[in-house]
Amino acid sequence: MSFFTDLAHQYIDGEWRTGSGSWDIIDFNPYDGEKLAAITVATVDEVDQAYRAAERAQKPWAETNPYTRRLVFERALRITEEREDEIIEAIIDELGGTRLKAHYEVHLAKEFLREAIQLAVRPEGRILPSPVDGKENRVYRLPVGVIGVISPFNFPFLVTMKSVAPALALGNAVVIKPNQNTPVVGGGLIAKIFEDAELPAGLLNVLVTDIAEIGDALIAHPVPKVISFAGSDRVGRHVGAVAGSHFKRAILELSGNSALVVLDDADVDYAVDAAVFSRFVYQGQVCMAANRILVDRKVEQEFTEKFVARVKALKTGDPHDPDTQIGPVINSFQAEALTGLVDEAMAAGATALVHGRTRGNLVEPTVLAGLPEGSPILTQEIFGPVVLLVPFDGEDEAVRIANDSPYGLSGAVHTANVERGVRFAKRIETGMIHVNDSTIQDEPLVAFGGEKYSGIGRLNGHSTVEAFTTQKWISVQHGRTQFPF
């Protein structure tokens, strides 16, 4: 199978189709510029067709025995394992992800499929007491119905799967709109896995399109009850506003400006390892990536020397080469934006301890230090291989600097004293923070999400059940109620 030939289509009601729009989305390899596919965009009419197909298919699916539903996810996991090598190559080609990153993404996606197998039979109802004699209160947990999933380009296979698989397992139907930069890995590939896993037609649909063609139709359509969006806070703000105005639930996983904090008693060598991974995995195009490395002045010199040496040794180049650690950023717009950001920071007084070159979409790592307090770059998300080193004096100043951002997604703190690290972590305004580890973490059972501009809602584990189900109260009166009139 050629993924970029066979799967570069719309997938609606169990059929692979050509979109009926008047223009094409071109899917490029970000490393060498090769054209992978051209996909004619879906129109508003096709948005309606996809949602109506999902609506028709969902009710019978919700009534299917959950043990029968579970078999679909067992097959999907087996198919993913059988095609793992092909999926890894597709991630490298379409995203410019390094081989290490591609393996990491597929590994996590398989973990979420394993969790979906269990999730199919996990939802439980409750029977609650009543102050009224003879009354029985039953609270049922039911699927919401149809869910719209809008996925990002950076981890399209994983992030899409971690919404799609549990949503389906819980008895819902799904319509995916993958990012225009990754329409196959984030859309067609997932549809093909579930098609081959014998998921009934109509339950999963993929629309490759753009807001320029469909406007807000994907969000405002009357069928979906929940919109699961992962992407920038700028777009997420709009998604949340439109969803809210139509009384839809929005799960928003948005931008980050994570800080990795190195306290004065940290294992410096280990902290350097964690910081390099936290910033530079997938070229830093990760919402959880450590934009800022905060280092206590007592260990600043040692940490900086070792960190800079490690960064200088990172290899930038062809993501197919297993030795490559930094591949291309997703497109030329992003490469140019990163170059401009570094130039502006240096013009404002920052010093480049490492100043990487930009060659096409290959952006070599840059380490900036000496940033004046109040520099705009300190509080924004940097989606690329640029990192900021910021010294501090004592924990209170570290907390102040770490919290001086409109974002609060992830973080990390390094210290020899675990309980000190936990106390410090509790003071940071973020949805997730890790003691003596990297800022980049995602596990199927643990709530994933951010504070402030980093999003609303949580996914994973019980949080996913809350996100993709609703509760219905049914009371039963045994005997006769005495009404007051």
Let me know if residue 416 belongs to a domain: yes
Its domain, for residue 324, covers 258-435
Beta partners for residue 261, in sequence order? 294, 413
Q: Are residues 311 and 207 in the same domain?
A: no
Euclidean distance between CA atoms 422 and 415, whole angstroms: 10
Q: What is the pLDDT of residues 188-242, one digit of tens each?
A: 999 999 999 999 999 999 999 999 999 999 999 999 999 999 999 999 999 999 9
- Strand residues in 243-356 grouped as ranges (E): 249-253, 258-262, 290-296, 351-354
User: Which pLDDT value is given to residue 71?
Assistant: 98
Let me know if residue 394 belongs to a domain: yes
3-state secondary structure of 231: coil
User: Which pLDDT value is given to residue 155?
Assistant: 97
Q: Are residues 158 and 92 in the same domain?
A: yes
Task: Specify whether 111 is catalytic.
Answer: no
Identified catalytic residue from 46, 253, 364, 395: 253
Q: What is the pLDDT of residues 1-16, one digit of tens each?
A: 789 999 999 999 999 9
Q: Are residues 237 and 343 in the same domain?
A: no
**What's the whole-number average pLDDT of the chain?**
97
Let me know if residue 368 belongs to a domain: yes
Q: Are residues 230 and 287 in the same domain?
A: no
User: Which pLDDT value is given to residue 482?
Assistant: 86
User: Which pLDDT value is given to residue 177?
Assistant: 98
Let me know if residue 68 belongs to a domain: yes
Let me know if residue 481 belongs to a domain: no
Q: What is the pLDDT of residues 107-117, one digit of tens each?
A: 999 999 999 99
Let me know if residue 405 belongs to a domain: yes
Let me know if residue 442 belongs to a domain: no
Q: Are residues 59 and 115 in the same domain?
A: yes
Side-chain half-sphere CA neighbours of 422 within 13 A: 3
CA 169 to chain CA mean position, Å: 19
Label residue 122 by pLDDT band (50, 70, 90): confident
Euclidean distance between CA atoms 173 and 51, whole angstroms: 9
User: Which pLDDT value is given to residue 228?
Assistant: 98
Is the pLDDT higher at 123 or at 390?
390
Q: Which two tokens stand for residue 409?
A: 């997604």
Strands of 249-253's sheet, edge to edge?
Answer: 15-17, 10-12, 204-206, 173-177, 146-150, 226-230, 249-253, 455-456
- Dihedral sign of CA atoms 456, 457, 458, 459 in order: negative
Task: Specify whether 466 is catalytic.
Answer: no
Q: Are residues 363 and 461 in the same domain?
A: no
Euclidean distance between CA atoms 35 and 32, whole angstroms: 9
User: Which pLDDT value is given to residue 8?
Assistant: 97
Euclidean distance between CA atoms 237 and 252, whole angstroms: 9
Which CATH number goes with the domain that contains 129?
3.40.605.10
- Give the predicted TM-score (pTM) of the model: 0.96
Q: Are residues 156 and 266 in the same domain?
A: no
Which CATH number goes with the domain that contains 367?
3.40.309.10
User: Which pLDDT value is given to residue 85?
Assistant: 98
Identified catalytic residue from 111, 213, 287, 381: 287
User: Which pLDDT value is given to residue 2?
Assistant: 86
Q: Are residues 420 and 466 in the same domain?
A: no
Nearest Cα neighbor of 144 from 167, 161, 118 is 167
Segment 397-411 mean pLDDT? 98
Q: Are residues 241 and 262 in the same domain?
A: no
- Number of domains comprising the chain: 2
What is the residue whose two structure tokens read 């703000």? 237
Nearest Cα neighbor of 413 from 278, 255, 281, 256 is 278
Q: What is the pLDDT of residues 55-81, one digit of tens each?
A: 999 999 999 999 999 999 999 999 999
Label residue 124 by pLDDT band (50, 70, 90): confident
Q: Are residues 250 and 331 in the same domain?
A: no
User: Which pLDDT value is given to residue 5?
Assistant: 95
| Residue 295 in this model has a pLDDT that exceeds 90 | yes
Segment 472-485 mean pLDDT? 93
Let me know if residue 365 belongs to a domain: yes
Q: How many other C-beta atoms are found inside a 10 Å radius of the C-beta of residue 474?
A: 10
Q: Are residues 281 and 423 in the same domain?
A: yes
Q: Are residues 28 and 150 in the same domain?
A: yes
